[in-house]
Structure 1
């Protein structure tokens, strides 16, 4: 099925919204003229494929239970299937590189990035690796650019999960024992590791300046995670880090918008109507124009659900709402070949049954990524 003419559906077209129009694609690209076999999709909507800027839901497939690691490559194949059935045609897989160890440790990151490179040619959603780097891992700075190149990682986000106030006072952070045991570490040794990292705090700013300059020179896209205030965002921007992932306060988001930085929020936050840990509401930021993209974070169905909810409740028009999960994140990633259903773009699209809201078909670069239900017969029989 390399050339199809989809007719009878409402199609979300750039600058026009949902309109009754045919959509044709051939050899993986959307075309302006009829190209092949006609398929009647009456009763459906055709929307651009979802571009997910940040998600770690794949962990459920590569490590379904504590201590039970599956084959990482096969787990990623299963994750690709989940991505597809949720309409995600481009997925950024967010993998930690952290002193926390376990699924967040450097050794596991090596396995994940090696597996992504191995499975990427044989799964249909486009998988893009993202490294979430803990800023206090100073001993890893020197080798990091070469490791990113070897792994094919184009996108780095900086995190800091140390409990600085408690560590500075020599006190154990909450839940330390459980976290240590989950990572397979001795709790006392785990605490000593945290204290040693905390002690090197004064070295971090200058080391970050040098590291971000090196990464910027080789074209690595960079983001910061959980910016708390305008000053934090300004410091990251000065280092060339232009993406603000999940800012914790409205003030940080406003500072990002004023400076032209990209703002990424969590789609699950939109569906809840607020943050689970008391941070700023993504719904409020979206309504105020302070969000460029909604990401799955940890729940792959949420981007679709959030965009449709924003349109159905009137927070945004349908095109602006869907832009947050398609064209918006594509722009943040610099992927000019996808995100809208326009001639010359990749044939990344999903077919939604209007009566049920179910995704019944997904194509990525013109290839079938998912198809289900009675609608599949329309594609098979013409």
Structure 2
């Protein structure tokens, strides 16, 4: 950790706009006073570190190819490095707990959480875990809750990836063979499992209510994923599930106002890759509380800079810093204010690329363009 230093010369994005005042870092916290040696960042921007409310890009590091990486700890360390390169100082790693098998299986989730418990405390980047629980995997809900309790997970999201429409119509779900092989099952066994999951739908609401009650007692933040319509979002809200991740329609996003997480890649692309509602449109309508990396860690930075052209840098950057921090209950970060965690990203205003990332007062990444200034 940097015991103390201060940054000078930069344009600093504070809650009330740009400032050229110094930014001090002392014992991992921000200060308004000069302290320790000075680092001249003239010509650069200093902004709050990015808070990523949902991302599964870490999966590429844990298994770049099937069976290619045996030690999940190395993969998580590489994840921390990629996060830092992209200015992300707090990251929710969205780990599945699903019937889908492979990296989405309950067994893999347990292995990932054990590795995370070893690696995360040693990294400058604050890597946390969100557990994504499949609604219809009812016989293992207690196991999911036990993992959340054991590892102190503060955020759980409910998914339903069962292809109900095809199964209800008596059809073979699309991509069945590939999914079966990925999960280690035969296509026949996989289809039988899906049919069983679909058939238990009437019992799922009671199972969810029991699980939600157990998690709510622990203060776990609860979210739903891919709400297809307003009715579904209202149902989740009635259950006490306040966050809506990636609502698929404008109507579901409107109902979820106050807890909407949208995909930054959707903004960067200008449209959803799956043909759903445009995140950029929802942002401009004021129906977004946080932009998340989803599957691509550079996207929050890219999306915020793109949106800044229309809504201003302060409002746009808050969607990847202050507002997701508030949504996650992290009051000690997301803004450049004295006393908060020293989470900062240094950007080149000419191209928006990251020159340095400081997380919790530690230099997590130094690019060639700014490294010499810190060394001097």
Alignment match, 2:148: 148
Aligned residues of 2:22 and 2:32 also touching (Cα < 8 A): no
Contiguous gaps of at least 5 residues in structure 1? none
Which of residues 302, 307, 311 is equivalent to 1:310? Answer: 307
Aligned residues of 2:133 and 2:144 also touching (Cα < 8 A): no
- After TM superposition, the structure 1 = structure 2 runs for residues 39-118 of structure 1, keeping only pairs within 5 Å, are 39-118=39-118
SS at match of 1:337: coil
SS at match of 1:370: strand
Deviation of residue 268 (structure 1)? 0.1
Q: Deviations over 1:154-194 (max 9, x none)?
A: 11000000110111233211001011112222111011000
Q: Deviations over 1:309-330 (max 9, x none)?
A: 111x31x111000000000100
The answer on 1:346 being equivalent to 2:347 is: no
Deviation of residue 141 (structure 1)? 2.1
Aligned residues of 2:155 and 2:221 also touching (Cα < 8 A): yes
SS at match of 1:283: helix
**Inter-partner Cα distance in structure 2 for 1:173 and 1:353:** 48
Aligned residues of 2:346 and 2:356 also touching (Cα < 8 A): yes
Instruction: Report the more deviating stretch, 204-213 or 293-302.
Output: 204-213
Alignment match, 1:12: 13
SS at match of 2:283: helix
**Inter-partner Cα distance in structure 2 for 1:357 and 1:70:** 36
Deviation of residue 293 (structure 1)? 0.3
Alignment match, 2:267: 270
Alignment match, 1:283: 280
Q: Deviations over 1:79-131 (max 9, x none)?
A: 10000010000000000010110111111111111111110111110011110
**Inter-partner Cα distance in structure 1 for 2:260 and 2:326:** 12
SS at match of 2:261: strand
Q: Deviations over 1:6-57 (max 9, x none)?
A: 1100000012x12222111100000121111111100000000000000000
The answer on 1:380 being equivalent to 2:358 is: no
Aligned residues of 1:117 and 1:152 also touching (Cα < 8 A): no
SS at match of 2:142: coil
- After TM superposition, the structure 1 = structure 2 runs for residues 292-307 of structure 1, keeping only pairs within 5 Å, are 292-307=289-304
Alignment match, 1:170: 170
TM-score (norm 1): 0.96
SS at match of 1:377: helix
SS at match of 2:256: helix
The answer on 1:328 being equivalent to 2:329 is: no
Runs of 4+ aligned structure 1 residues displaced above 6 Å come to none
Alignment match, 1:357: 352
**Inter-partner Cα distance in structure 2 for 1:171 and 1:99:** 20
Aligned residues of 1:4 and 1:38 also touching (Cα < 8 A): yes
> How many residues align structurally?
375
**Inter-partner Cα distance in structure 1 for 2:67 and 2:272:** 29
Deviation of residue 195 (structure 1)? 0.5
